[in-house]
Amino acid sequence: MSATATIAEVISENFMNIFYAIVIVLIVYVVGKVIIVKEKEKTKLKGADLRLKAKKMELFEKERHIKNLKEASMVLKDDEKSRVDEIERDKAILSRRSLALMNEIEERMQRLERGADNAKLLKTLRDIKGAERELFGKEGGNR
């Protein structure tokens, strides 16, 4: 018991020092957390900035590529230009045909879905009328 009493006396005599030490440790911990959070935010901001710059560079490269293609088409000979134009026309026709086929498929799919829904509803109606005939009799099903 004397050891326990001695520890209790030491704690009671040094209570304020222990309290201040705990407060200082907590303050250092909180300050450290705040610094870490701010550094993470800075890192995220820098990452977003770098992604934005990379996107801008990518757009600039695409724009430059398109500009180079336009300039290259200006130096094409007439027969080369006509071949390129013919390919572009064929491509446009194929695109329109593809679009028309996609529209037709979409319309047919919608019609098929509505037909299936209609068939289900008709079957449900027949089932309900049959159940009414069983429950109410032949003339009661017309109510």
pLDDT at 5: 72
Domain encompassing residue 24: 1-75
Check whether residue 143 and residue 114 sit in a common domain: yes
108 with 90, same domain: the answer is yes
CA distance 71 to 40: 46
pLDDT digits (tens, 9 = 90+) for 47-96: 999 999 999 999 999 998 888 777 766 677 888 888 888 998 999 999 99
Q: How many domains does the chain have?
A: 2
25, exposed or middle or buried, with CB in 10 Å at 0-12, 13-18, 19+? Answer: exposed
From 53, 75, 97, the end of a domain falls on: 75
Distances (CA, A) of 123 to 68, 109, 112, 115, 136: 64, 21, 16, 12, 20
